[in-house]
Amino acid sequence: MGISIGVKSIKKAVDRNRLKRQIRAFFRRDLENISGGIDIVVIIQKGWNAKSNPAKALFGLLEKGGFYNRK
């Protein structure tokens, strides 16, 4: 898993680091529900709200792609 958050997308380092922690926590918490054998790269681009929770967006994307197996 890789996480890329550019300075241009989120200006403050505090917000970038908080977002990275939230993304890592999502994958740690839901690792057993994610299909194995895939590489995941999360790239945050301009327009992302630094105060929002990324878990909902990641869950939706993984489920839409068929990589999230709810038990």
Report yes or no on 71 lying in a domain: no
* Amino acid letter, 9: S
- In angstroms, the first-to-last Cα distance of the chain is 22
Report yes or no on 16 lying in a domain: yes
CATH for 38: 3.30.230.10
Give the tens place of pLDDT for each residue, 12-67.
999 889 999 999 998 888 888 888 788 889 988 888 776 777 888 888 888 888 88
Per residue, what are the HEC states of the chain?
CEEEECCCCCCCHHHHHHHHHHHHHHHHHCHHHECCCCCCEEEECCCCCCCCCHHHHHHHHHHHHCCECCC
Report yes or no on 19 lying in a domain: yes
State which residues form the domain around 27: 2-65
Report yes or no on 6 lying in a domain: yes
pTM over 0.85: no
The answer on pLDDT for 70 being more than 80 is no
Report yes or no on 28 lying in a domain: yes
How many domains does the chain divide into? 1
The answer on pLDDT for 71 being more than 70 is no
Angstrom CA distances, 57 to 31, 33, stand at 16, 16
pLDDT of 59: 86
pLDDT of 24: 92
